[in-house]
Chain A
Amino acid sequence: MSSTKGKIRVLIAKPGLDGHDRGAKIIARAFRDAGMEVIYTGLRQTPEQIITAAIQEDADVVGISILSGAHLYIFPRIIELLKEKGATDILVIGGGIIPEIDIPKLKQMGVAELFTPGTPTSKAIEFVKERFREK
């Protein structure tokens, strides 16, 4: 894990057609201010592009921001691709408008945590740091 060598590397990605990137940009800055190495993919990335970037960038964490309601399509595809590429050690987290009833399904698939509206950025930072302290 690269975090033992230094900073935690996070890739923030915005899949789908939605352009509402306030959340993605805020969490990217908050992670950076918390001492992590952050790469932001920009808008409209396909799951394939996101995973390719995550592997190329040697990311420890992939953070997906999604508000459009397409989460039940996007997350399974991300997890599937990580498995295909043998990169399941990358931690997948998500944020955005995700109905409560979908959260258990997503977690069961392998999404580590979902941060819904109103979550302080500090909570997401703590979650990520905690995960890497364990390892």
Chain B
Amino acid sequence: MDDRIKREKERWENETASSDIKHHPERKESFTTVSGKPIQRLYTPADIPDFDYQQKLSFPGSYPFTRGIHATMYRSRLWTMRQFSGFATAEESNRRYRLLLERGQTGLSVAFDLPTLMGYDSDHSLAVGEVGKCGVAVDSLQDMETLFNNIPLDKVTTSMTINAPAAILLAMYIAVAEKQGVKPDQMGGTVQNDILKEYIAQKEWIFPPKPSMRIITDMFAYCSKEVPRWNTISISGYHIREAGATAVQELAFTLADGIAYVQAGIEAGLEVDEFAPRLSFFFNSHNDLFEEIAKFRAARRIWAKVMKERFNAKKELSWWLRFHTQTAGCTLTAQQIENNIIRVTIQALAAILGGTQSLHTNSKDEALALPTEEAVTTALRTQQILAYESGVANSIDPLGGSYFVEKLTDEVEEEAWNYINKIDEMGGMMAAIERGFPQKEVIEAAYRYQKAIEKKEKIIVGVNDFVMEEKEQPPILLIDPEVERSKQIKKLQALRRQRHNFKVQECLNRLRIAARGKENLMPLLLESVKAYATLGEIVNILREEFGEYQEPPIF
């Protein structure tokens, strides 16, 4: 049958289509995805010859999970609507969280400010001007208590975008939960904790790779016993894509990072099935609908193979690629910002058709500032309309079997494997990062994309075409620098006076000794945060013991 269709397709190309093209020339010489991947005029069964349904797709909830990790997907439970949020002080962010929960959000996602991400207290000289700007400032357990005030941590799951100091923030979260009477095994959530992508893309690192990996494997070991519902890592392609990677690069580098973490866990003496079920992923959803859907489907298929065949994981849960998605911040335009709502809708649709487990939809004003309350509500409503009105959640993997989507999924998978194999040949992701390989690939792609926009090979509505004069900039969320700063710093300094400083010192000394040895750091971090040692104090100890990462400035 395939041969007949192939012959018929050739006939159609040479006769019907080409004669039509004489009268109606195609708009462009070649059509490509956002990532620059060539796309054909038409896809038919001839593009996916010998397609083995069972082997390539199988059923939802069955290996290799191309169609979804759950047998019933959104028919049982919709994805978690989880808006990434946090700004100024813990009090203000707590108010925003409660508002989002009231408006139907189903999970929390905490954005920390830059000093917190980098492990500095709010009164550190490098924190000047940055406190509470890109997220909420958290200096100690006291701030975490305020942040989750009146939010029941046994009912709401929380994702925390924190990497280098993730273990410390998790310790604070466990301590807050305990104060609410919630045991560690009752709480659920995620810490991003993905340091490799920091070296590649987001660059919020503190320690060099080796001690960073040690902290991560300590968390794998600790949580598998004490906090079994916690996702110990969210292996993230999001930031790699935002830095300019193509869809394939995002996928390949993320999965190669995943491989490095599994390897590290095994080398630390853990059983793969002990920690692999708590690994989770985080992808970007960009503008190109089909390319993104193919990426998500290919991601599940590759990871299942990696876990089953490469690492010999036995549990099905270890084979699952569970992922969160955020729509692509880098696609938002500062021009005609209402258009961003439409972009976000398409990107969110891709994530849903791709089978995401949770979703953040960006707000229309995020190319200008952190979102206003009104803008974030529209973003949440976008998810609710997709979930309840559009019908796209009624059937599982509705695009499965589309000649185009299956072909694209196969191609994305193959290209991602090529990268993964190349990274393996370099000695794994840590070695590849040391050589600057993923970093260079990403910046090359970013520059190509920028040039394509400037040459108008790619059209961005309102930016390089369909431009119009705009009146004043719309109202944006402004963070008052002085009031918040003096608030946050005053609170921190009062804490340092009021707490039991001798106990803090004792805890920090024990932590230092543990850092020098091989003991699991989690219990010591928990003890330190409970004594109200600050984030900066704890990180300082570890910085002194582990050193700091330095990046060569290449461009």
Contact = CB atoms under 8 A, between A and B. Distances in A.
Contact of A20 (B126, B202, B481): B202
Given A99-B369, A120-B454, A17 B115 contact: yes
Contact of B133 (A22, A68, A99): A68
Interface string B325-358: 0000010011100000000000000000000000
A22 B129 contact: no
B129 A74 contact: yes
B78 interface: no
Contact of B134 (A26, A41, A69, A118): A69
Contacts of B450: 26, 30, 121
Interface in A47-97: 68-70, 72-74, 97
A99 B454 contact: no
A69 B551 CA distance: 23
A123 to B, nearest CB: 9
B129 A99 contact: no
Interface residues on B, range: 35 or more
Interface string B453-468: 1100000100110000
Contacts of B498: none
Given A18-B114, A118-B334, A68 B555 contact: no
A44 B367 CA distance: 22
A97 B476 CA distance: 12
Contacts of B128: 70, 73
A74 B128 CA distance: 9
Contact of B244 (A22, A38, A46, A100): A22
B129 A72 contact: yes
Contacts of A44: 126
Contacts of A121: 450, 454
Contact of B114 (A21, A68, A74): A68
A97 B368 contact: yes
Given A16-B129, A22-B446, A43-B203, A118 B335 contact: yes
B555 A25 contact: yes
Contacts of A72: 129, 481
B447 interface: yes
B196 to A, nearest CB: 14
Contacts of A21: 203, 243
B117 interface: yes
B334 A70 contact: no
B127 interface: yes
Contact of A117 (B133, B202, B367): B367
A70 B473 contact: no
B378 to A, nearest CB: 20
Contacts of B130: 16-18, 68-70
A35 interface: no
A22 B328 CA distance: 14
Interface residues on A, range: 35 or more
A19 interface: yes
Contacts of B453: 120
Contacts of A46: 126
B463 A29 contact: no
A72 B481 CA distance: 9
Nearest to B332: A117
A73 B129 contact: yes
B267 interface: no
A98 B203 CA distance: 21
Contacts of B204: 17, 19
A38 B334 CA distance: 27
A26 B446 contact: yes
A122 B129 contact: no
Interface in B515-555: 551-553, 555
Given A99-B473, A118-B335, A16 B368 contact: no
B118 interface: yes
B481 A101 contact: no
Contact of B333 (A12, A43, A68, A117): A117
A30 B555 CA distance: 10
Given A25-B555, A42-B553, A69-B479, A100 B473 contact: yes
A121 B443 CA distance: 15
B482 to A, nearest CB: 11
A106 interface: no
Contacts of B127: 17
A43 B551 contact: yes
B291 interface: no
A40 interface: yes
B476 A26 contact: no
A108 B139 CA distance: 35
A99 B335 CA distance: 12
B250 interface: no
A72 B478 CA distance: 12
A27 B238 CA distance: 22
A28 B133 contact: no
Interface of A: 12, 16-22, 24-26, 28-30, 38, 40-44, 46, 68-70, 72-74, 97, 99-101, 116-118, 120-122
5 contacts: A26-B244, A26-B447, A29-B447, A40-B555, A118-B334
Q: Which 3 pairs, one residue from A and one from B, show the smallest C-beta to C-beta distance?
A: A19-B203, A73-B129, A42-B553
Interface of B: 114-115, 117-118, 120, 126-130, 133-134, 198, 202-205, 242-244, 330, 333-335, 367-369, 443, 446-447, 450, 453-454, 460, 463-464, 472-473, 476, 478-479, 481, 551-553, 555
Given A17-B204, A42-B551, 12 more contacts: A16-B114, A16-B130, A17-B114, A17-B118, A17-B126, A22-B244, A26-B244, A40-B555, A68-B130, A69-B130, A69-B369, A118-B460
